[in-house]
């Protein structure tokens, strides 16, 4: 865990960092977060993460000025203070002190609480990438009537509950469907299916989170002339797929070889998935400047 954290513009010792009891994140879960990947002291696609957070903040809490957030320089300093080059970086923004905001009225505006923490980049087991993983179907449903759908909110308990259910079935991820029986996303990942060499993932209107790794994979498909599209995916599309894989910036591209007891394809990571696994790692190394 972080020895030092970035809190409201300053790097402070973790034990000295304090958030008030009237903070909207503590009281109501009124907050957003980004989990990011740093390699060589550089955060992968930081601008994409910041853009997503700012869009969500404007819609759900109050607009956040980019100047309130730590940039590459500040995060690089935070990584250095913690003796890390490869790290998991978390940026959290909450509604701040709601009592103070209420007293100030419209004149004071919202003063967000902004915190960045770093921790060692603990990799998933190599066997997951070599052999693939199993996933479960969550009993919960995703809805476009949920105002938090498509946003990375600190109200994360339902996701963790679904993930806990999946782990009880010895699965590594829980897949969420909508009330219309369309595949949305995983608790902590975006989901892709491959059929006949073509890649498909749920459209943003499903609704799903506009994942940073999700967008990177779509970029890779374009670069490598792999047909890719966004659109509706039902249970048959999932179970009859030749390949399935998951993405987020920490796991990168992870092959799925079973949905609970149903085997996907031949039960091994497929050729398209392997190609994108390699491509994603190369992309991260290139953009973070660690490709030598």
- Condensed to tens digits (0 to 9), the pLDDT of residues 238-285 reads 999 999 999 999 999 999 999 999 999 999 999 999 999 999 999 999
Q: How far apart are CA 235 and CA 145, in angstroms?
A: 21
Which pLDDT band, with edges at 50, 70 and 90, does 164 fall under?
very high
Contact call for residues 260 and 137 (beta carbons, < 8 A): yes
pLDDT at 199: 98
CATH for 43: 3.30.470.10
Which pLDDT band, with edges at 50, 70 and 90, does 218 fall under?
very high
Phi, psi (deg, nearest 5) at residue 182: -105, 140
Q: Any idea what DSSP says for residue 125?
A: P
Residues 226 and 85 in one domain: no
Phi, psi (deg, nearest 5) at residue 7: -130, 115
Residues 108 and 240 in one domain: no
pLDDT at 176: 98
| Final residue before a domain boundary, out of 73, 96, 120 | 120
| Final residue before a domain boundary, out of 103, 120, 137 | 120
Considering Cα of 250, then 207, then 210, then 95, what sign does the dihedral take? negative
For residue 106, pLDDT beyond 70: no
Residue 195: its H or E element: strand 190-195
Which pLDDT band, with edges at 50, 70 and 90, does 292 fall under?
confident
CATH for 264: 3.20.10.10
Which pLDDT band, with edges at 50, 70 and 90, does 2 fall under?
confident
pLDDT at 291: 86
- Condensed to tens digits (0 to 9), the pLDDT of residues 45-79 reads 999 999 999 999 999 999 999 999 999 999 999 99
For residue 103, pLDDT beyond 90: no
227: domain range?
A: 126-288
Written as six digits, the tokens of 56 are 């969500």
Torsion angle, CA of 92/93/95/101, rounded to 10 degrees? Answer: 120
Residues 130 and 116 in one domain: no
Share of the chain above pLDDT 90, in %: 93
Whose CA is closest to 69, among 85, 97, 40, 89?
89
Residues 43 and 57 in one domain: yes
Residues 170 and 98 in one domain: no
Torsion-angle region of 55 (φ positive above 0: left; ψ -120 to 50: alpha; else: beta): alpha
Residues 102 and 149 in one domain: no
- Number of structural domains, the chain? 2
Residues 102 and 194 in one domain: no
For residue 107, pLDDT beyond 60: no
Residues 182 and 256 in one domain: yes
Residues 169 and 226 in one domain: yes
pLDDT at 102: 53
Contact call for residues 207 and 150 (beta carbons, < 8 A): yes
Within 8 A by CB and 6+ apart from 100, the residues are: 22, 108, 111
Residues 45 and 150 in one domain: no
Share of the chain above pLDDT 70, in %: 96
pLDDT at 251: 98
- pTM exceeds 0.85 for this model: yes
213: helix, strand or coil: helix
Q: How far apart are CA 84 and CA 87, in angstroms?
A: 6
Considering Cα of 208, then 213, then 216, then 220, what sign does the dihedral take? negative
Q: What is the mean pLDDT of the chain?
A: 95
Mean pLDDT of 167-181: 98
Mean pLDDT of 4-9: 97
| Final residue before a domain boundary, out of 96, 120, 144 | 120
Residues 15 and 105 in one domain: yes
For residue 3, pLDDT beyond 70: yes
Residues 272 and 236 in one domain: yes
């Amino acid at each position: 865990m972080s020895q030092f954290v970035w809190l409201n513009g300053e790097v402070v010792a973790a034990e000295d960092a304090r958030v008030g009891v009237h903070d909207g994140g503590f009281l109501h879960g009124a907050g957003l977060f980004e989990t990011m990947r740093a390699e060589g002291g550089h955060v992968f696609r930081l601008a994409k993460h910041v853009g997503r957070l700012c869009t969500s903040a404007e819609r759900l809490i109050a607009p956040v000025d980019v100047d309130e957030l730590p940039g590459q320089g500040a995060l690089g300093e935070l990584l250095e203070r913690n003796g890390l080059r490869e790290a998991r970086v978390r940026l959290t923004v909450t509604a701040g002190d709601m009592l103070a905001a209420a007293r100030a009225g419209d004149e004071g505006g919202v003063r967000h609480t902004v915190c960045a923490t770093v921790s060692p980049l603990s990799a998933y087991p190599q066997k997951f990438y070599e052999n693939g993983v199993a996933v479960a179907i969550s009993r919960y449903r995703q809805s476009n009537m949920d105002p938090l759908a498509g946003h990375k909110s600190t109200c994360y308990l339902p996701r963790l509950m679904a993930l806990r259910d999946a782990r009880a079935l010895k699965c590594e991820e829980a897949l969420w469907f909508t009330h219309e029986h369309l595949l949305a996303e995983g608790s902590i990942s975006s989901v892709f299916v491959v059929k006949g060499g073509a890649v498909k993932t749920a459209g943003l209107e499903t609704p799903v989170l506009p994942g940073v790794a999700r967008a990177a994979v779509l970029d890779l498909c374009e670069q490598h002339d792999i047909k890719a599209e966004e659109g509706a995916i039902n249970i048959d599309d999932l179970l009859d797929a030749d390949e399935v894989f998951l993405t987020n910036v920490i796991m990168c591209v992870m092959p799925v070889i079973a949905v609970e007891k149903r085997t996907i394809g031949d039960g091994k990571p497929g050729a398209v998935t392997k190609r994108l696994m390699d491509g994603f790692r190369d992309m991260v190394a290139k953009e973070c400047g660690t490709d030598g």
